[in-house]
Amino acid sequence: MLESLSDSLTKTANHLSSMNLPQLGSNVVATVETTAKLTSNLNELVEYSAPDIKEILENLSMASVSLRVFADEIRDNPSLLLRSREEEALEETK
């Protein structure tokens, strides 16, 4: 068991020594900086777009209410799909 652990540690040490750790560190730093810029840009976008998003959500809410009312009316009176609410006299019968 100790030999297996020793072999594993040796392989890990050899692998680490073959890696370019300074380059890896530079890549990590660059990734963090890029992520910070992206986050900042997204925050600005959301802040800039917030009024538009609010208006869109309000419009969707009103449309949803209207659609619910329409669906309820059709459920209660399916003939509305074929005729108007009020019986209109035909032109010939006036």
Q: What is the pLDDT of residues 54-83, one digit of tens each?
A: 999 999 999 999 999 999 999 999 988 888
The helix or strand, by DSSP H or E, that contains position 2, with its residue range, turns out to be: helix 2-18
Show the tokens assigned to 57. 């959500």
In this model, does residue 6 exceed pLDDT 80? yes
Task: Please state, in angstroms and rounded to a whole number, the distance separating the CA atoms of residues 94 and 91.
Answer: 6
According to DSSP, residue 19 is labeled S
Residue 94 has pLDDT above 70, yes or no: no
Query: Do the Cβ atoms of 80 and 74 come closer than 8 Å?
Result: yes
Compute the distance between CA of residue 93 and CA of residue 59 in angstroms, rounded to an integer: 43
pTM above 0.75, yes or no: no
Average pLDDT, the chain: 87
